[in-house]
Structure 1
């Protein structure tokens, strides 16, 4: 009120300056306003000077983002009103807003040492927030000491800020002690401590405090649900969600993400369809959920539904989610549309989007486009190199994949586990045994520990090359418990080498681990059939029936005229069945050289 009364007494020049400060300013206009202040001797008006420093401090110049805050600090250091608390607090807050945490603490200490500045409760609220954002527990404890010494320990705002600071630094014990000492608490105080428990994974204490909270708003419900979701406690998350008096889009989306993350895509879709109001985050969560759970066709259909029924435009998250689904389905026409959309919306400057496009083109077999896009990227990251290396590997371009890997090392990029998996895959696809051994051993030089996937790739490489004994020794000596994927891979290698005795031994292990996996039985059954051991073939069939290993129906997906179509083995009701079989018959004859299609 006092400030409003003072403004009523301002001159027209002061009011004009205030009006200009409230407009959208650039660094050039700020410098002009500073000159206007000095020329009219307006810097003595502490409220006007404070507004100028706040505006200047929050300015983000395109070429020099810190130019505004630096100029604000220069003006502040030459201020005529050296001890005004409002002005000093505004400068400290400006530093915090620009994430200049060290500068905010340094300024506070300088003001206490060199001036008669007297901090108030707002000063300590700002400093506590700064400590929480910087994860600076020692500075936070120092601030807490000043609070107690100066006598602001009973201030609701200061105490709440300190509880939040301790909670964000993981010191939930200190936060709880301070919370229990508070004579007055607000919803923010309760929420700060509950969120601290949630962040530390202590959902038991979070729930106890949540149940004691007198008034609960949607923010604390969302925090609790998010905590349960991250820990995989979807039952508790759902119970809490059902208790919410006023569910908002954040809580709905958090539940959808949780169900998808835990593999329950059907429950996620039921919630998604029941949402009274959806935003782009909701669509992204559901589309991404389908992709993560290997349901690319449903992801694609939902993406197209979003395009047709809403006004939402895909953002970077949408694009990075849908492109792997397009790659899995080989929907190259749609992938091309997404690429054109990316260029039109200037998303081609985003490294993650470009990386997803490289991956999509490579998996769809368009290696030339993948390489062109890769080399046109303004900035690359390790994931970008990984996408191209793996894409070249799966397309049989092993030599080129290894050349790209050498180029990556030469450019100074550090390979990670995924890089090395791509390199080993390249060696595997081309049977480069010695090259694969070399890079497998080199992982230690890069500071990387081979994961079970790397061992699996080496087993497959050795097995396909006929080095069965060496592959079996690698399985026995690896520091991981063998999984079904490695056993199936090794069983296939035994089949290729027609090593029936070893294949039978491997199948016994694989059947104990994955009795339902029909592929393992089929491999040995076919091996027996080639040797005309029909009694053993029947024995394998009986074992399959006993273990419930029914052979899954094969299917394939292809994009035709912009539409993705699925074909299932044994289908007898397709409307174009006769034409398809006729075409296949002609292709078969053509491959045998019996007819000429030209």
Structure 2
């Protein structure tokens, strides 16, 4: 009875296809006796498109034309051009274009716009521009499609030129947003701000794109000004601001924003929010909040996501809860290389080198190929535990995994050799590596010279290290201490003067403690603290002293 009803009621079938997964929808479609109905066929192709099954949609079209005598319409071609553009299939796209011409839809506004968009995605801007110029009528979407194509091809000059020629009545918010996004992606916040200010009707996308751009360029203050000024926010905006603070090492601000988001109760955090805030929690060691986020993620089933589970493994490891980190790892259903990397790095960070190497071995046994980050974790594990020969062995084995050591791997090995007192070997590695030594590597060598009391070698490298990183106080202090050890007090004073002239300052020591899900930070020399908080903090510190005894 149900099959009979479906066969005679196309509206019912199309609704079923629309609201089913593409796989089940296709089963229903394939059982239909009459499959030449244009509306029905378009619905099935659109279902494939919505499910990301672009090839299936194009193949279905070819099959229907060949076997069913299917006659396409403008909706058919709008769907097919999207599929070809998203699949980056140039030849199929050109074949679809040929059918557009054959069936007389070249002058259709929607089809012509879809073709411009398709050629833009395919990087064929000559074809896209020719079609655009031949259009008898254009809509704001047509202009935006061509601009997006230019931007995607990295041609902001032509995009800007086109934007300036758009008639005022066809220049909508979407066209402004496309230009803003184009400049933001290039890191050109000046032109982006100019267009943003000129946008007559800014929407959430306009504001969020600018906030994201400022954060990516390290200007969190300007991003926060826009965030506070926004008339309306959505969860994407909150995620951009929280993630931006984390990205720029402003963990306190990221955590404060997250707590503000929870307090407002307007939006519920999603998996992106969780991934954005966990690095801040890890950085501050805010374990109580981390536990809350973990329980929230489990309740919402976000922990099934590889990104979330990896961030949780990383957070617990950096908070010193390596057993909890391992528990989270063991409960992950779909482990990927990033999750393995998080556990290896976490074990290395907690000084458990042998366990990190065991996990590395297990990872390979289970068929996962190590990447550059994996090898950094392995070298870091050897570094933390002084396993020099083990570290050298894995460094030399990298080509066996089709990995070429990057400068970070050389830096890790230099640090490992330096900490083991093998300064000559570390210097030789720097001279023979295929990269120009950066400030981090030279600082590692200087610290190695400090351990070895090697003043002569330190003097040889300190000038270049300071040139590369003039604000790194450690470089000056190593040499100052070496001079002081040899009672070269005049040289000590010279180093102090050099440090002052370069604007380098010794970074104040700092520590943090979490009380009632709030993180308090102590900076050496800063005596400012609310009296109530001071009493609470002293109480907790007194309890810690008792435990330490």
Q: In structure 2, what is the Cα distance between the partners aligned to 1:116 and 1:587? A: 81
* 1:157 Cα deviation from its structure 2 partner: 2.2
Q: In structure 1, what is the Cα distance between the partners aligned to 2:496 and 2:113? A: 69
* 1:587 Cα deviation from its structure 2 partner: 10
Structure 2 stretches of 5 or more lacking a match? none
For residues 424-475 of structure 1, what are the alpha-carbon distances to aligned partners after superposition, in whole Å with 9 as ceiling and x for unaligned?
Answer: 0000011111111111111111111211111110000011111111111111
Of 204-213 and 282-291, the range deviating more from structure 2 = 204-213
- The residue that corresponds to 1:237 in the other structure is 192
**TM-score normalised to the size of structure 1?**
0.86
User: Taking structure 1 as reference, are residues 434 and 86 closer, same or farther at Cα in structure 2, changes over 3 Å only?
Assistant: same
Of 556-565 and 491-500, the range deviating more from structure 2 = 556-565
- The residue that corresponds to 1:308 in the other structure is 263
- The residue that corresponds to 1:429 in the other structure is 384
* 1:354 Cα deviation from its structure 2 partner: 1.5
Answering whether residue 291 of structure 2 is matched by residue 336 of structure 1, we say yes
Q: Are the counterparts in 1 of residues 25 and 44 from structure 2 also a CA contact under 8 Å? A: no
* 1:349 Cα deviation from its structure 2 partner: 1.8
- The residue that corresponds to 2:13 in the other structure is 53
Number of aligned residue pairs: give it.
545
Answering whether residue 154 of structure 2 is matched by residue 185 of structure 1, we say no
**Match 2:118 to one of 165, 185, 208:** 165
Larger Rg computed on CA atoms: 1
For residues 333-368 of structure 1, what are the alpha-carbon distances to aligned partners after superposition, in whole Å with 9 as ceiling and x for unaligned?
Answer: 111111122222222222211211111110111111
Q: In structure 2, what is the Cα distance between the partners aligned to 1:153 and 1:352? A: 44
- The residue that corresponds to 1:133 in the other structure is 86
Q: In structure 1, what is the Cα distance between the partners aligned to 2:455 and 2:535? A: 40
* 1:573 Cα deviation from its structure 2 partner: 4.8
**Match 1:482 to one of 437, 442, 445:** 437
**Match 2:28 to one of 71, 80, 89:** 71
- The residue that corresponds to 2:274 in the other structure is 319
Q: Are the counterparts in 1 of residues 515 and 537 from structure 2 also a CA contact under 8 Å? A: no
CA-based RMSD of the aligned residues comes to: 2.6
- The residue that corresponds to 1:268 in the other structure is 223
Answering whether residue 2 of structure 2 is matched by residue 33 of structure 1, we say yes
* 1:141 Cα deviation from its structure 2 partner: 0.9
Q: In structure 2, what is the Cα distance between the partners aligned to 1:310 and 1:237? A: 32
User: Taking structure 1 as reference, are residues 586 and 85 closer, same or farther at Cα in structure 2, changes over 3 Å only?
Assistant: closer
Alignment of 1:23-422 (within 5 A): 33-37=2-6, 43=8, 48-49=9-10, 51-60=11-20, 66-75=23-32, 78-79=33-34, 84-114=37-67, 116-214=69-167, 215-422=170-377
* 1:530 Cα deviation from its structure 2 partner: 2.4
Q: Are the counterparts in 1 of residues 211 and 226 from structure 2 also a CA contact under 8 Å? A: yes
* 1:192 Cα deviation from its structure 2 partner: 1.1
- The residue that corresponds to 1:441 in the other structure is 396
Aligned to 2:513, the other structure's residue is in SS state strand
Q: In structure 1, what is the Cα distance between the partners aligned to 2:357 and 2:401? A: 16
**TM-score normalised to the size of structure 2?**
0.93
For residues 273-312 of structure 1, what are the alpha-carbon distances to aligned partners after superposition, in whole Å with 9 as ceiling and x for unaligned?
Answer: 0001111111111010000001101111111111123422
Q: Are the counterparts in 2 of residues 229 and 258 from structure 1 also a CA contact under 8 Å? A: yes
User: Taking structure 1 as reference, are residues 37 and 152 closer, same or farther at Cα in structure 2, changes over 3 Å only?
Assistant: closer
For residues 303-340 of structure 1, what are the alpha-carbon distances to aligned partners after superposition, in whole Å with 9 as ceiling and x for unaligned?
Answer: 11111234222111111111110111111111111112
For residues 543-570 of structure 1, what are the alpha-carbon distances to aligned partners after superposition, in whole Å with 9 as ceiling and x for unaligned?
Answer: 2233232323232222234321111112
* 1:99 Cα deviation from its structure 2 partner: 3.9
Q: Are the counterparts in 2 of residues 330 and 364 from structure 1 also a CA contact under 8 Å? A: yes
User: Taking structure 1 as reference, are residues 572 and 163 closer, same or farther at Cα in structure 2, changes over 3 Å only?
Assistant: closer
Q: In structure 1, what is the Cα distance between the partners aligned to 2:245 and 2:97? A: 48
Q: Are the counterparts in 1 of residues 6 and 12 from structure 2 also a CA contact under 8 Å? A: no
Q: Are the counterparts in 1 of residues 455 and 482 from structure 2 also a CA contact under 8 Å? A: yes
* 1:133 Cα deviation from its structure 2 partner: 2.6
* 1:584 Cα deviation from its structure 2 partner: 9.8
Aligned to 1:564, the other structure's residue is in SS state strand
Of 573-582 and 445-454, the range deviating more from structure 2 = 573-582
Q: Are the counterparts in 1 of residues 344 and 356 from structure 2 also a CA contact under 8 Å? A: yes
Answering whether residue 508 of structure 2 is matched by residue 548 of structure 1, we say no
Q: In structure 1, what is the Cα distance between the partners aligned to 2:41 and 2:266? A: 46
Of 152-161 and 462-471, the range deviating more from structure 2 = 152-161
User: Taking structure 1 as reference, are residues 109 and 548 closer, same or farther at Cα in structure 2, changes over 3 Å only?
Assistant: closer
* 1:207 Cα deviation from its structure 2 partner: 1.0
User: Taking structure 1 as reference, are residues 472 and 327 closer, same or farther at Cα in structure 2, changes over 3 Å only?
Assistant: same
Aligned to 1:557, the other structure's residue is in SS state strand
Aligned to 1:567, the other structure's residue is in SS state strand
Structure 1 stretches of 5 or more lacking a match? 1-31, 591-595
* 1:585 Cα deviation from its structure 2 partner: 12
Q: In structure 2, what is the Cα distance between the partners aligned to 1:188 and 1:573? A: 57
